[in-house]
Chains A and B, each alone.
Chain A
C-alpha cells in the first residue's frame, strides 16, 4: 500500500491517510470479532450487516480483495445462510496484517 500516492490521489496529507488506514484496521478488526459472534449466535442478519460494513470501508480505500471476501459472506448471509466464515475471515485478516506491516515499514 503506497500511502504517498494514495494521499496524492485523495488530495490529503500522508499523515491523514495514515490515520484513515489505522481507523480502517481498527474498525475492521472489531467487525471481524462481530462476524464470529454473529455466526456463533446463528444471526444471519447481523452477519450480513457486519460483512456489508467491512465491504463498504474496504471499497472506500480500494482494498478490493478484502471487499470481495466480505461480499462473499454478505451474499450468503443475505440469503439466510449462516455458514462459518472462518476462511473469509482468515483471508481478510491476512490482508490486514499485510497492510499493518506495510504501514510500519513506511513509518
Chain B
C-alpha cells in the first residue's frame, strides 16, 4: 500500500478518513491546511492527496495550483474533498484534479473515498473524472455558492490591484499572494507561499524589515501607521504591514514598487539643486562683472593716457588681459545659469564639431580622434558661441579623462524624441540633433556622475580645473531646450550624449555677415549728452570718465528717480541713456517705461552684470535700443554707442 495525504482543517474529517484508510491498510498523512501540507511534501511523496477547498492559511485551490507546479509531485493523484466541490463548476481547472468528492454523511463519503482510491490504482494514478461524486447525498448548497461567488469577487479585485498583497500567518510565513506581489518580487506563487516573509529580503535589508515589523506590532490601535522603504534587489519598495488583530497573529503586507517614483524624485531634486546653484552662480557673476567693469574701465582710461613706452603701460595691458580671463569665467557661470548672452542663428553643428575637433587634435596628438558626422544632420538654431564652447568643453573633458593615449569618438545623428525616451528625462516631442562624445578614459563612479554638472565640482587637482566646463555644457544645453545624458563606468570610459531640439522653419536662412555690414567706427559722430544710470558708484565713476574720453557730456544718476529728474530737465541735450537694469528701488524696467512715456523715441542702451536673457530681452522687444554686458571695455562701449547713434541706428 501507498501513502495517502489528507488535508482538512476539521479534526473530525481527518480522524474519520485516517481511521477508514488505516483499516484498509493505507499509510495516512494528515495536514490541517495547505501550509502544513506543503511542509509535509518536502519530506514525503504521497501517491494520493485528498484536499479540502476552504481552509485557513493556504487554501485548497492555491494548494492544487502549487502542487501541479512541483515536478516531484506532478504524478500525484489529486482528489478534492469538499463541501464546495458540490457546486457545478469549482474554481480549479478540471485538468488539474483527478476526482472530486462532495462532503456529506460519512457512510456515503467513505464509499466514494474508497472507490476513488480503487480507481486511482486501476488507472495507474492517471484517471481523470469530470463529475462530482456524492452530489446526491447532500442538501441544497445555495449559501456555499454565495460564499464561492464572494470569494471569487475578492480574488478578482485582489488580482487586479497594482500593489502586491501578501498574507502572513502567525509564524511569519506567507499564505496568500496576489499577482502583483509575484511580479514585484519576481517570484512564482509556489516559491512565495509557505516562505518566511523576512527571508524574502536580502541579509542587509532584513534587519530593517524586522524592526519595522516590531514597530507595527507595538503600534496596535494606531490606524495611520506609516510604511517603510526597503531595498529589494535593484528595486525600491514601500512596505506597509497591517496586523489583523481579530484573527490570531496574521497580518497583511502591502508592497509597492516605488523604484520609478524614486528615480524621478531624485532627478527632480538634482535639477532643483542645479537650478539653485545656477541662481547663486548668476548672482556671483553679476557682482564680479560690476567689479570687473570698474577695473577694466580704470585700466582702459589709464592706458589711453599713457604712452606705450611708459613703464606701467605693459602692466596695464596685463591687468586688461586678466580682466578678459576673469570675464570668460563669469561668462561660463552665466552660461551655466542660462543667463549668458544669447544670439540665435542657424548653425551647422557638423562644421562646428569638425573645426573644434581639429583644434583639439592639434593640442592632444596622442589621442586618436574618430569623427562620424551625419551628412544629413539637420541645421540647428542656436547660439554659436555657446555651442562652440559646449563642444570644446566636452572634448577637453574627454581629453582630461585620458591623460595618456586613448580614443575619442565623436558622432552626430538625427534622432527623434522616441529614440531618447529610455533616458532618465522625458524629452518633448520632435526631432533632435544628437552629439555623442565617447572617450576610453578612466570613467566615473555613480557619485561623480551625479555631480559632474554642478559648478565648481571637479575631480581634477587643485588649480587644474575650474569645475565650470561641464556646468556650462549643462547650462548651454538647457538654454537651448535640449537634454544631456551621461553614461560612464570606472575603467570603461564615458559617453556624453547631447540632444538639441531642431526647429524646422523653411523661411530662415543662415545669415552671412559681411565686412560691409559692420558699422564703420573709425570716424564716429559723437556729440551730445549721455545720461548714465547705475546704482554702483564705482561703475558710475569709471563709466563717466570713459564716456568723457569718448567726448560725450555725461549726466550721472545713481538711482531711477534721479535719472528721471535729470532726463526731464535735459531731454533736449540727451542723445542716449545708458541704463543699468538691476537697481534697488526703481529698477531699470520702470525707469525705461517712464522714459518712454516722456519721449517715446528715447534711445536707451541697457547694461547689466546679468545677461540679455530675461528682462533685457523683453525691454529690447518693446523698444530699448541695445544691450551691453558688464564688464565692457572702452572699445566695446564705444561700438555699442556708435551702433545706436549712427544714422539709421536702433
Contact = CB atoms under 8 A, between A and B. Distances in A.
Contact of B11 (A16, A27, A41, A43): A27
Contacts, number: 68
Contacts of A16: 19
Given A20-B12, A27-B11, A56-B10, A41 B246 contact: yes
A104 interface: no
Given A19-B15, A20-B12, A60 B147 contact: no
Interface residues of B, number: 24
9 contacts: A10-B16, A19-B19, A26-B11, A27-B10, A27-B11, A59-B103, A59-B139, A60-B106, A78-B147
B143 A59 contact: no
Interface in B197-212: none
Contacts of A56: 10, 83, 103
A10 B104 CA distance: 13
A98 to B, nearest CB: 18
A20 B19 contact: yes
Interface in B95-147: 103-107, 109-110, 138-139, 143-144, 146-147
B13 interface: yes
A9 interface: yes
A10 B111 CA distance: 9
Contacts of A78: 143, 146-147
A57 B246 contact: no
B146 A53 contact: no
Interface in A1-32: 9-12, 16, 19-20, 23-24, 26-27
B566 interface: no
A75 B143 contact: yes
Kindly name the residue among B12, B16, B23 whose own CB sees the greatest number of chain A CB atoms within 10 A. Answer: B12
A71 B143 contact: yes
B20 interface: yes
B83 A11 contact: no
A12 B105 contact: no
Contacts of B139: 59
A60 B246 contact: no
A10 B20 CA distance: 8
Contact of A74 (B20, B138, B143): B143
A23 B15 contact: yes
Contact of A11 (B23, B138, B146): B23
Contact of B107 (A9, A19, A20, A57): A9
Interface in B67-107: 83, 103-107
Contacts of B105: 59-62
Interface residues of A, number: 27
A63 to B, nearest CB: 10
A82 B535 CA distance: 82
Nearest to A28: B12
Contacts of B19: 12, 16, 19-20
B12 A23 contact: yes
Nearest to B114: A11
Contact of B110 (A11, A57, A59): A11
A24 B12 contact: yes
Contacts of B138: 59
A68 to B, nearest CB: 9
Q: Which of A19, A20, A75 counts the most B-chain CB atoms under 10 A from its CB?
A: A20
Given A59-B138, A60-B106, A74-B143, 13 more contacts: A10-B107, A10-B110, A11-B110, A23-B15, A27-B12, A41-B246, A48-B143, A48-B147, A57-B13, A59-B139, A60-B105, A60-B109, A78-B143
A60 B143 contact: no
Given A62-B105, A78-B143, A20 B16 contact: yes
Interface in B352-404: none
Contacts of A61: 12, 105-106
Interface string A67-89: 00001001100100000000000
A43 B143 contact: no
A16 B144 CA distance: 30
A11 B20 contact: yes
A26 B12 CA distance: 10
The 8 closest A-B pairs by CB, nearest first: A62-B105, A57-B12, A9-B107, A16-B19, A60-B106, A78-B143, A23-B12, A23-B15
Nearest to B19: A16
Nearest to B146: A78
Nearest to B144: A52
Interface in B127-186: 138-139, 143-144, 146-147
Interface string B1-24: 000000000111101100110010
Contacts of B83: 52, 56
A74 B10 CA distance: 17
A6 to B, nearest CB: 9
A53 B10 contact: yes
A101 to B, nearest CB: 20
A62 B106 CA distance: 8
A62 B11 CA distance: 17
Given A11-B20, A11-B23, A11-B110, A57 B10 contact: yes
